[in-house]
Amino acid sequence: MKDIGLVTDLYRSELSRFERQVAGTTPAWMQQLRQAAGARFADLGFPTTHHEEWTHTDVTSIVEIPFTPAGRRPDIAKAELESVVSWVGPVHQLTFVNGHFSSSLSSLKLLPHGVIAESLADSCTIVPNLLEPHLGRYAQHKDHAFVALNTAFLKDGAFIYLPPKMVVEEPILVMFVSCPNGKATISHPRVLIVAGPSSRAAVLESYVGLKDDLYFTNAVTELVLGEEAELDHHLLQQESQAAYHIATLAVHQGRRSRFTSHSLAIGSALDRSEVRALLADEGITCTLRGVYAATGRQHVDIHTRIEHAKPRCMSQQLYKGILSGHASGVFNGRILVRQDAHKTDARQTNNNLLLSEHAAIHTTPQLEIFADDVKCTHGATVGQLDRDVLFYLRSRGIDLENARRLMTHVFGGELIRLITHEMIRNRFTELLSQWTSHTYSESLTA
Amino acid sequence: MPDPILEIRDLHAATAGKEILRGLNLTVRAGEVQAIMGPNASGKSTLAYVLAGREGYEVTAGTVRYEGKDLLIMPPEERAREGLFLAFQYPIEIPGMTTLHFLKAALNTIRKHRGLEELDAIDFLALVKERAHLLDVDADFLNRPVNAGFSGGEKKRNEILQMAFLDPKLAILDETDSGLDIDALKIVARGVNVMRSQDRAMLLITHYQRLLNFVVPDYVHVLLNGRIVKSGGKELALTVEERGYGWLEEPHARISEEKTAP
């Protein structure tokens, strides 16, 4: 393995080149934020498996591959790109190619007056006062090298702002497409969503790659919900099979706000996705539901951390994993209940389906409770397809292979069914169904 | 006389290393409804599972021919496609899969096997509703996950609906009448009577004769210790109801740990 220090130096020289490029184009506070994060990254360096949060996820490959910043213009036919980004039809959509905003692939005509959904770089010039109080405040770069690295390269991304009481019925899409053009590239997608008091909206954040391209997506999303705001967040990780995907979703919830997250992760060679939610006031509801499916030699790692800081909040986590081939998975769910947070109701469930004897999952709940009078439950299961159910299906004429495929789909589909937005639900269902069909046809030919 | 649909000869079968069926003989022809009665542990469910091809049931001797073909070499799905249907004693719950999705997958597989076109969503729904109406079953559970959270009666009704829907040549009902209240029992009986036809054979496996108050079988057999010990007409069911199974026991053949019905 290369000397981590040297690699960090490489990133530092990229960073100083980047700083020279953007000098003077962003506000002073953003520059300070970048510099602080850059310095922090230099101190932290990349995590190794000796780091307790990274025991089961080895990022050596990310360190060893010389990723270079992704160019603005991909060498790819527009039609091909459109086929990837335009499955949803006419909706509010922000599209980024290799981390750069693409206005030609975006469409935002239908948004109600007062709602902002645009390139973060644009907002920075037009409404810096809406960004400054939030950007970099929730996703902490102090203890997280990848967040620090993302923040150090912060310039563009997606910014969504919902004024108080604003309701947007149609989901807003934020899509990050990577097409690295033959070189191993890195991009640092950044999203900030500010939901004003009593606003309501749905967002789909999607990461998609083409073919077997090699690249590294290092994403950070920050979400802040004002009092009684309601946000349905959806996350789709469909990176190329060779890609690396590291992402942190940081959520800050205000009084009586309701946050729901649905995620589906099927792509990338290595996926480390973290969700950190701070339930900062009373009467909050936070629901996280996720399906992760991996096959071949894919590795998927879900880390959640829900912090109950105040009384009478409710959090629910339900994650389901499907692992086939030689795939490995990690689920680490942490619930932190602070001393003041009495009447907390926190639940966590992680169910895993292993389709092959070579697939593996490490599942760990971590409960840290400092308050009395709380209700915290957690449960994890690891299992195979139910033989009785398989027989029942076969006794109705469905062959064993199809019965397995159906049951696998159903296992994950149970969570996807709970998505209320039809267009997103159908898309997730379709992708999971394709994944299961593909996985079974692969295992047949293997 | 029509050709037999099912011919069982000297069938011996074991589960968990224990012999349950010990030389069972039975012939069922198209158009017939036959009832097999027997106390707990007489081998009723083992017979049903062996015929449907469940894992864990080992045939140690004997033959089973289905429409002249060797049934025992066929995997369960092939038996179903060839027209054998088992209504489960304990229908399986499939949380996450709607009954509609389940029925559609099953029906289209079977139709394909029979050289028929797969039904599209609209024709399929029309067929489900027609069958549900025929059996007087409420179609509202179609959008609920298969059997999940269903009452015992609802599960059994779902089995009958599946039977009506898949149009089998041989339907085996494994204690479909057990644990049902009188209304649910009538629905099951109605299903059997509606489905009774010259082209179809039905095998009713039951512990009690009360289903036979509503369905009149052509033959009644008593299964005891893995063997059919008595066969007769519908009046045999009434005799069993009156006298129990004790009088049919062969004292030398009785296995001490087996329980007999009161």
**pLDDT interval class at A403 (50, 70, 90):** very high
Average pLDDT of the segment spanning A346-366: 96
Residue of chain A nearest B105, judged by CA positions: A398
Residue A359, pLDDT score: 96
CB-CB: which of A391, A398, A406 is closest to B54? A391
**A439 within some domain:** no
pLDDT value of residue A88? 60
User: Which residues of B fall within a CB distance of 8 Å from A397?
Assistant: 77, 80-81, 106, 109-110, 113, 166
Q: How confident is the model at residue B260 (pLDDT cuts 50, 70, 90)?
A: very low
Q: What pLDDT, on a 0 to 100 scale, did the predictor assign at position B255?
A: 46
CB A50 within 8 A of CB A59: no
Mean pLDDT of A303-324: 98
Q: Does A417 touch chain B (CB under 8 A)?
A: yes
Q: Which of B53, B96, B106 shows the shortest C-beta gap to A396?
A: B106
Q: Is A397 left (phi over 0), alpha (psi -120 to 50) or beta?
A: left
**pTM confidence score:** 0.88
Check residue B172 and give its pLDDT.
97
Computed over every residue of chain B, the mean pLDDT equals 89
Chain B residue with Cα closest to A397:
B77
How crowded is residue A387: how many other Cβ atoms within 10 Å of its Cβ?
A: 11
> Residues of B near A (CB-CB distance < 8 A)?
52-55, 75-77, 79-81, 85-86, 88, 91-92, 94-97, 102, 105-106, 109-110, 113, 162, 166
Q: What whole-number distance in Å separates Cα of residue A283 and Cα of residue A254?
A: 9
Q: What is the pLDDT of residues A198-213, one digit of tens each?
A: 999 999 999 999 878 8
Task: Give the pLDDT of residue A4.
Answer: 57
- Shortest CA gap A291–chain B (Å): 14
A416: closest CA of chain B, how far (Å): 10
Please indicate whether residue B237 or residue A276 has the higher confidence score (pLDDT).
Answer: A276
**Region for residue B9 given its phi and psi (left: phi exceeds 0; alpha: psi -120 to 50; beta: otherwise):** beta
Q: What are phi and psi of B58, to 5 degrees?
A: -105, 125
B74-128 tens-digit pLDDT:
999 999 999 999 999 999 999 888 888 899 999 999 999 989 998 888 898 888 8
3-state helix, strand, coil in chain A (%, to 5): 25, 40, 35
pLDDT for residue A227: 98
Residue that has been written with the tokens 């400054």 in this structure: A132
Q: Is A399 on the interface with B (CB under 8 A)?
A: yes
Among chain B residues, CA nearest to A405: B105
Closest CB from B77, B88, B91 relative to A397: B77
A-B contacts at Cβ under 8 angstroms: 72
Domain that holds residue A276: 66-386
Q: Which residues of A87-100 are buried (b: 16+ CB within 10 A; e: fewer)?
A: ebeeebbbbbbbbb
**Residue A5: its pLDDT value, please?**
58
Residues B51-64, mean pLDDT to the nearest whole number? 96
Give residue-wise pLDDT tens across range B140-182. 778 888 999 888 888 998 899 899 989 999 999 999 888 888 8
Q: What pLDDT digit, counting tens, does each position of A225-252 carry?
A: 999 999 999 999 999 999 999 999 999 9
What's the pLDDT band for B129 if we cut at 50, 70, 90? confident
| Selected residue of A393, A404, A408 to mutate for chain B interface (largest B Cβ count, 10 A) | A393
Q: Do A395 and B80 touch (CB under 8 A)?
A: yes
CATH superfamily of B4-248: P-loop containing nucleotide triphosphate hydrolases (3.40.50.300)
Once rounded to an integer, what is the mean pLDDT over residues B52-78? 97
Q: What is the C-alpha to C-alpha distance for residues A305 and A335, in angstroms, rounded to an integer?
A: 6
* Confidence class for position A278, pLDDT limits 50, 70, 90: very high
Q: What is the pLDDT of residue A76?
A: 62
- A410 in contact with chain B, both atoms CB, cutoff 8 A: yes
Quick check: A417 and B96 CB within 8 A?
Answer: yes
Amino acid identity of residue B101, one-letter, is H
Domain locations along chain B: 4-248
Contacts of A410 in chain B (CB under 8 A): 94-97
**Residue A394: which of B77, B96, B166 has the nearest Cβ?**
B77
Residue A68 confidence (pLDDT): 87
Asked if the Cβ–Cβ distance from B105 to A392 is below 8 Å, we say no
Is B253 a residue whose pLDDT tops 50? Answer: no
**Residue pLDDT, tens place only, A370-385:** 999 999 999 999 999 9
Identity at A184, one-letter amino acid code: A
Nearest chain B residue to A394, by CA: B77
Nearest residue of B to residue A418, measured between CA atoms: B96
Put simply, whether A387 touches B (Cβ < 8 Å) is yes
Q: Which residue in A384, A415, A389 sits closest to A402, CA to CA?
A: A389
CB contact under 8 A, A397 and B75: no
- Vertex A332: Cα angle to A171 and A56 (nearest 5): 115
- Overall average pLDDT of the B225-252 stretch: 87
Chain A environment of B53 (Cβ under 8 Å): 394-395
- Is A56 a domain residue? no
In a domain, A100, yes or no: yes
Please tell me the distance in Å from A364's CA to the nearest CA on chain B. Answer: 25
Lowest average pLDDT, out of A4-8, A143-147, B241-245, goes to A4-8
Q: Please tell me the distance in Å from A409's CA to the nearest CA on chain B.
A: 9
Q: How confident is the model at residue A86 (pLDDT cuts 50, 70, 90)?
A: low
Between A55 and A22, the more confident residue is A55
Q: Which residues contact A310 (CB under 8 A, 6 or more apart)?
A: A279, A280, A281, A282, A284, A338, A340, A341
- A14, part of any domain: no
Residue B226 has pLDDT above 60, yes or no: yes
A417 occurs within a structural domain: no
C-alpha span between B185 and A9 (Å, rounded): 78
* Number of domains chain A contains: 1
Chain B nearest C-alpha distance from A318 (Å): 15
A238-252, B46-60, B187-201: which has the minimum mean pLDDT? Answer: B187-201
Contact state of A397 with B166 under an 8 Å Cβ cutoff: yes
